[in-house]
A and B are shown apart, each in its own frame.
Chain A
Amino acid sequence: MAAQNFKHALFCAVITLVISYPILGLNLVAEGTSVGLEGATTGTVINVFLAAVAVFLFQLFRDNIMGIFGKVPNLNPLPKRGPVSQERRMLMERVFFVAIILFALLWPFIVSRGAVDLATLVLIYIMLALGLNVVVGLAGLLDLGYVAFYAVGAYTFALLSQYFGVSFWLALPIGALLAALFGFVLGFPVLRLRGDYLAIVTLGFGEIIRILLNNWTSLTGGPNGIGGIPDPTLFGMEFGRRVKEEGNVSFHETFGIAYSGEHKVIFLYLIALVLAIFTLLVIRRFMRMPVGRAWEALREDEIAARSLGLSRTAVKLSAFTIGAFFAGFAGTVFASKQGFISPESFVFLESAIILAIVVLGGMGSQVGVILAAIAVTILPELAREFSEYRMLIFGAAMVLMMVWRPQGLLPMRRIQIELKEQG
């Protein structure tokens, strides 16, 4: 056994060297038109060898190490603690939501402008993640082209405002409905497919949308994107220094306060906050409605659900359409926040980030998804020097999550009703 272990450990160590040394240790550098090769720093090479040694030792003493890990649950201080009762959990969730909303309301008045801008981005991601959570977490449909609906929302607003001068408030429902329509039209034929095929088809759809946006230069401006997207107005009051449109008044003049660029940022943040809360509440309602139960039933056991009379297409289509609707919502807000959009913002990586948020937070769990969205957006900002490692860490986290804790950090718990014994 020991000899076999040793052989296996040696093999793993060699493999580690083979897969890491050529890529990490030898760097290709372009020298004019030709390519040269450069050895990496000694530190990198040492690290590669240390990694190989670590793999070797781990594999050699694998059984012992795993044995120690097996004892870890015994160290849990509250081993006997039963699961939290449902009433308590509901209460805790509600307290959590109220606390976070209150905190979010105060946020723009205590921090700098940059932090408010970042918070708006967090809220957009929360909307997206909550929407994708319906599709992936609740209905179990892996949608890898979610960013396409986001793009539809953003481009709807951009194009409508450019060609017809439509305002934010009118474009918001139009963008969301158009995204939902796209979801419906795409979902109708595609949702008959099995899970993994669906993933690929949605991925292809996302790419098609992006390529179209990139190449349909006469309409979308191609890679140059669309700029000059107007800011939202508050009952016809504009937030700029000067009023851009006839008949509007500006915010600071109406209230007789000095002009400040922060007003606009804060206002946009508050809009995003209201919309995120709206998204949260609507989806929360849906989860308790029959259709929400049907999503989960179909995810858990399609054959059983269908034999109980659920229409597969209708149920899946509803989840897909609702998910797309909220992506359109988020897209409109995004377009308005940036003031400029281009196909660059809607690449597959974006879909992957949103998916990572849902997976890390716990598929189906709203609290988990919100916390994950906050963490995933803010952490790279806090640790700037790590920001280039962001996607590397995401990828690794997705794999590790699936291996160790596929239910996510804060797994979803289903609402249940217990029948009380009657005396």
Chain B
Amino acid sequence: MQDLLYFFQQLINGLTIGSTYALIAIGYTMVYGIIGMINFAHGEIYMIGAYTALIAITGLASFGVAWLPLILIVALICAMLVSSSMGWAVERVAYRPVRGRHRLIPLISAIGMSIFLQNYVHLAQGSRNIGFPALIEGGFQFGSSEGFQMSLSYMQITIFVTTLVCMTVLSLFISRSRTGRACRAVSQDLGMANLLGIDTNRIISATFVIGAALAAVAGLLLGMYYGSVDPLFGFIAGLKAFTAAVLGGIGSIPGAMLGGLILGVAESMTSGYLSGEYKDVISFSLLILILLFKPTGLLGKPEVEKI
């Protein structure tokens, strides 16, 4: 019984982290699906989302606003607004001029952008990590009071629910709306979509904006969950989310969700049963193994190399 509870605890922790990875991973996978580049600066956009959310929360607190739902909603809106503007601007400045050139060129440009944004926040807000107030506290406890107690915090439930809502809205948007249909068309064949009168530039911008907005949601959630932010916060999370996207099959949105959950569970199992220090090693090793044995990922379509 004890062992079972312990296992479930790890599972819950893993799914919590994993669902936020999935939110970030969607940004990678949508961009890759459409223009075939790795948006290396995506992790930084997520970090900026977390910072903006914290700034909004602190700002509201200094005005004496104490009603929790209002604080959360305002923080979420601010974070999404700033992050998606950043996503839009990054695409305009660093990616659009180099689109269609040799594969390495957009990638190096993206790495430059990532370094730039990291240091932008570092210089503006300092390099120390800043505590994120725990707004949602408490939770359920399971198990006997003597032995191991499994806990499911309200924060974790908030993360699940928010992620679920975001995913549902995104799925509906992609499958039902006009812009969503255009997104799918562009990801199938950019040139053809252009010929048929879709403004592909606008759709590509929209992809960056959507990805960045979801990353901002993840930034707010993970910031509260971990309890602190720092300028390097986005780098590892971005890498993990990319791993999740590759794991699920890059270019596939359901794949990103699945990949995120699997990665999160794998990580928390490692830290629960082996050692917390090696959880990053496990996820990178997982990435390398996936790329070697199934480069298309779990739900991805095989890419045919054309001559």
- A interface residues (Cβ-Cβ under 8 A, vs B): 15-16, 18-19, 22-24, 26-28, 30, 33-37, 136, 140, 142, 144, 189-190, 192-197, 199-201, 203-205, 207-208, 211-212, 214-215, 303, 348-349, 352, 355-356, 359, 388-389, 391-392, 394-399, 401-403, 406
Contacts and interface: CB of A to CB of B under 8 A. Distances in A.
A211 B104 contact: no
Contacts of A356: 112
Contacts of B118: 391, 395
Nearest to B275: A215
B52 A211 contact: no
Contacts, number: 179
A196 B111 CA distance: 12
Given A196-B38, A201-B287, A207-B284, 10 more contacts: A19-B85, A19-B89, A35-B54, A35-B132, A194-B103, A195-B104, A200-B38, A200-B242, A303-B307, A402-B94
B284 A392 contact: no
Contacts of B119: 389, 391-392, 395
A interface secondary structure, majority: helix
B82 interface: yes
Interface of B: 37-38, 48, 51-52, 54-55, 58-59, 62, 78, 81-82, 85-86, 88-89, 93-94, 97-98, 101-109, 111-126, 128, 130-133, 235, 239, 242-243, 246, 277-278, 280-281, 284-285, 287-288, 291-292, 295, 305, 307
B111 A30 contact: no
B58 A395 contact: no
B115 A394 contact: yes
B131 A30 contact: yes
B130 A28 contact: yes
A211 B278 contact: yes
A207 B58 contact: no
Residue from A190, A199, A388 whose CB has the most chain B CB atoms within 10 Å? A199
Contacts of B104: 136, 140, 142, 195
B59 A26 contact: yes
Nearest to A206: B284
B235 A348 contact: yes
A28 B82 contact: no
Given A348-B235, A398-B111, A205 B106 contact: no
A402 B105 contact: yes
B112 A396 contact: yes
Contacts of B292: 189-190, 192-193
A212 B281 contact: yes
A190 to B, nearest CB: 7
Given A19-B89, A394-B115, A27 B125 contact: yes
Contacts of B109: 398-399, 402-403
Given A23-B48, A142-B104, A303-B307, A193 B291 contact: yes
Residue from A15, A35, A199 whose CB has the most chain B CB atoms within 10 Å? A35
Contact of A398 (B54, B115, B235): B115
Contacts of B38: 196, 199-200
B55 A403 contact: no
Contacts of A23: 48, 51-52, 55, 82, 120-121, 124-125
Contacts of A399: 93-94, 109, 112-113, 116
A205 B97 contact: no
Nearest to B40: A199
Contacts of B133: 34-35
Given A23-B51, A205-B288, A196 B37 contact: yes
13 contacts: A19-B85, A22-B51, A23-B52, A27-B125, A35-B133, A37-B62, A144-B111, A190-B291, A195-B104, A200-B287, A396-B112, A403-B98, A406-B105
B112 to A, nearest CB: 3
B225 to A, nearest CB: 17
Given A15-B88, A23-B120, A193 B295 contact: yes
Nearest to A23: B124
